[in-house]
Amino acid sequence: MGRKREVVVVTGASAGVGRATVREFARHGAAIGLLARGREGLEGARREVEAAGGQALVLVVDVANPDQVEAAAQEVEESLGPIDIWINNAMTSVFSPIKRMTAEEFKRVTEVTYLGYVYGTLSALKRMLPRDRGTIVHVGSALAYRSIPLQAAYCASKHAVLGFFASLRTELLHDQSHVHTTMVQMPALNTPQFGWVKSRLPRKAQPVPPIYQPEVAARAIYYAAHHPKRREYYPAWSAIRAIFGNKLVPSIADHYLARSGYDSQQYDGADDPNRPHNLWEPVPGDHGARGDFDKRAYLRSSELWAETHVAWLAAAAGLGVLGTMLAFFRRTPGAGTRPEKILRKTA
Q: Give the model confidence (pLDDT) of 246-277 as tens digits.
A: 999 999 999 999 999 999 999 999 999 889 99
Both 212 and 329 in a single domain?
A: no
| CATH number reported for the structural domain that contains residue 225 in this entry | 3.40.50.720
Could you give the CA distance from residue 99 to residue 294 in angstroms, rounded to a whole number?
Answer: 33
The reported pLDDT for the residue numbered 339 is: 39
Both 174 and 211 in a single domain?
A: yes
Both 329 and 225 in a single domain?
A: no
Task: State yes or no: is 154 an active-site residue.
Answer: yes
Which pLDDT tens digit goes with each residue over 136-176?
A: 999 999 999 999 999 999 999 999 999 999 999 999 999 99
At residue 343 the predicted structure's pLDDT band, cuts being 50, 70 and 90, is: very low
Query: Which residues span the domain enclosing 342?
Result: 312-347
Both 258 and 342 in a single domain?
A: no
Both 291 and 167 in a single domain?
A: yes
Region of residue 169 (phi > 0: left; psi between -120 and 50: alpha; otherwise: beta): alpha
Both 285 and 335 in a single domain?
A: no
Both 177 and 204 in a single domain?
A: yes
109 in any annotated domain: yes
The reported pLDDT for the residue numbered 312 is: 55
Catalytic residue among 154, 212, 222, 234: 154
The reported pLDDT for the residue numbered 332 is: 53
Backbone angles phi, psi at 248, to 5 degrees: -85, -45
The reported pLDDT for the residue numbered 308 is: 85
Both 230 and 134 in a single domain?
A: yes
140 in any annotated domain: yes
Q: How many domains does the chain divide into?
A: 2
Both 23 and 88 in a single domain?
A: yes
Both 23 and 170 in a single domain?
A: yes
